[in-house]
Each structure stands twice: as C-alpha cells, then as structure tokens.
Amino acid sequence: METTKATDKQPETTLAKASAPRITTRVLEQINNMQARGLALPADYSAANALTSAWLTLQEVQNLDKKPIFVSGQLSGVVTEISVVNALHDMVIQGLNPAKKQCYFIVYGQKLICQRGYFGDMAMAQRIRPGLTFYFDVICEGDEFAMEKIRTPRGFVTTVNKHVQKFPRSEKLQGAYCGIIDESGNDLGADVFDVARIKRSWGMAKNQGKVHEQFPAEMALRTVIRHRCKEIINSSNDAMLVEAITRQEVEAVEAEIAEEAGALANGETLALAAPAVDQATGEVVAAEPEGKALF
C-alpha cells in the first residue's frame, strides 16, 4: 500500500502490527485486496494507522444503556461483528481517521455505524477536489457581518467580505457560514445560514436535543459545513467511495427503525413515516413513529 509522509503519520511499528486485533487485521486485508484491484486512498492516508486509532476508540464506545461494545478486547455481544467490520471498512474507504475527529462510532440497536463529522466532510471534499481550503465561523449578536453575490464562471455565488467580531463575544448565536477557496485562490462561494434555518435543520434531526442546546456554535458549524461539502462529495465518480457513503447512511436509518420496532414489540402498532431528508445538510433522517420521538 502507499507509504505516508513521516511528518503526517506515526510510524507503523512491528509491535503495533503484531498486536493488531483480529477484526482490524481482517479489514486491513480486505482494503489491501481492494487497493490491488484499483481502490485509491489519499496519498498521505495510512489505513493501518487509522484502524489502530479506531480500535483504541472502539474500546470506549457504549450503547445508550452504557453497555460497552468491547470488554477486555472482545466483542461483548452489544453489536454484531459484521457491523463492526462494515463500519471500519467504510471508515477506511472514505479516508477517515477517528483520531482527527473525522468520524465517530455510534451504536444503533445491534449495529455499529461509522458516522462522519464535519472534519471528515472537509477531508473528503479535499480528497475529491485536491487543493481546496475552507473558511467558516459562527455569527454572534454584535458582530459586523457582510456578504455579497459575485459573478463567476459557474454563475453567481455568495461570498463573505466582512466579519468583524467584538470582544468579549456574545454567546447569542445569529448564524454561521462556510466557504471554499480553490487551489488557484478563487472563492467558490459560501453557504450562509441564519439561526432560524439552522434550528429548522436541528428540528429535523432525530437526535437533536441537549447537545444542540449545550453546544449551539459547534452544532451550527456542523450544519453549515456539512451542507457546503455535500455538493462536492456528491460529485465523486469513485464508485467504491459512493457505495461506502450510501451504505453508511442507509444502515443508520435501518438500524434506528429496527431499534425502535424492537422497543415497541409489545403488540403496539408502529406507524412509520417515509424517511425524510434534512434540507440544510442533505442527510437522511430516520423515519419517526407518529407522535413519538425516537429518543
């Protein structure tokens, strides 16, 4: 497989390889076979190092009942082994590393899902279109903010031309933005969301609640960055990458529905609406039973 830059990655020592768990070794063998058949990973990405980071992360992962998925390095039965393999597989195909906060492992029912964070969205966009850089921030009450429409070869795009922040900064959120600059220095435009649009997006997410209330700025950035990256990620012609992204989203929806159906397996009728799509982020949102939040 491809070597990595010494400045970017930790050395893959013999000790690390010798102590690699069976599941991660299995996934790495799959990835090596896929690379031999044409799978292209980022030049500075080490699948072995990412899997080692993932293995360490998985030792701390728990379900909603605080039950760990691994005990003493062995699966505890909370999730299936195949779901762990698939989650790790999808992580590597997307070129993500949990140590860089690019992805997170979440338990839905008996399935483990690898879910991209917004750092992962940016990394994937840069993988698909090398040379991109991002600018983003939240807009708070009292900030001086200005944007404009400029004409480019791809049509009119919104750009941010002024954002002056006061100190101390207000905690009252007014909006957020994320823009992209290409390798030639051209501004490809920014998505700018006001707080009303951000909260509409949060209202569609099944797990919105305390985390959005406690960390509104972080969650606002997540919303707008994911939305800005979506156009680029969806433009990929890498079939293996698209398959991994699609499976990650579909399995999350299916696992959430199965989890809820199991919880209500007491003769009660479960009326499911069709899966919805978050209009702000483009993410698939699990169908919810009528009149009942999933959690």
Residue 216 preceded by cis peptide, ω within 30: no
List, in order, residues 6 or more apart from 264 with CB less than 8 Å away.
Answer: 270, 289
User: What are the structural domain ranges in the chain?
Assistant: 1-116+239-277, 122-233
* pLDDT confidence bin for 155, thresholds 50/70/90: confident
Q: Which two tokens stand for residue 98?
A: 């949990």
| Burial bucket for residue 196 (CB in 10 Å: 0-12, 13-18, 19+) | exposed
Average pLDDT, integer, range 140-162: 90
Q: Cα(103)–Cα(45) distance, rounded to whole angstroms?
A: 15
pLDDT above 50 for 179 = yes
For residue range 50-85, list pLDDT tens digits in order: 999 999 999 999 998 999 999 988 999 999 999 999
- Greater model confidence, 122 or 203: 122
pLDDT value of position 56: 93
Query: Nearest 5 degrees, angle CA 30-CA 36-CA 41?
Result: 75
* pLDDT confidence bin for 93, thresholds 50/70/90: very high
- Greater model confidence, 17 or 46: 46
Average pLDDT, integer, range 128-148: 94
Average pLDDT, integer, range 178-182: 95
Q: Among residues 54, 114, 58, 112, which one has the least CA distance to residue 83?
A: 112
Average pLDDT, integer, range 268-284: 42
Give me the DSSP letters along 282-295.
--EE---BTT----
Average pLDDT, integer, range 153-172: 89
pLDDT value of position 267: 42
- Greater model confidence, 160 or 289: 160
For residue range 200-243, list pLDDT tens digits in order: 888 755 555 556 667 788 889 999 999 999 989 988 888 888 88
For residue range 235-267, list pLDDT tens digits in order: 888 888 888 888 777 776 666 666 555 555 544
- In the chain, % helix, strand, coil (3-state, to 5) comes to 40, 25, 35
The pTM of the full predicted model, rounded to 2 decimals, is 0.71
Query: What does the chain come to in residues?
Result: 295
Q: Cα(133)–Cα(4) distance, rounded to whole angstroms?
A: 21
Phi, psi (deg, nearest 5) at residue 155:
105, -170
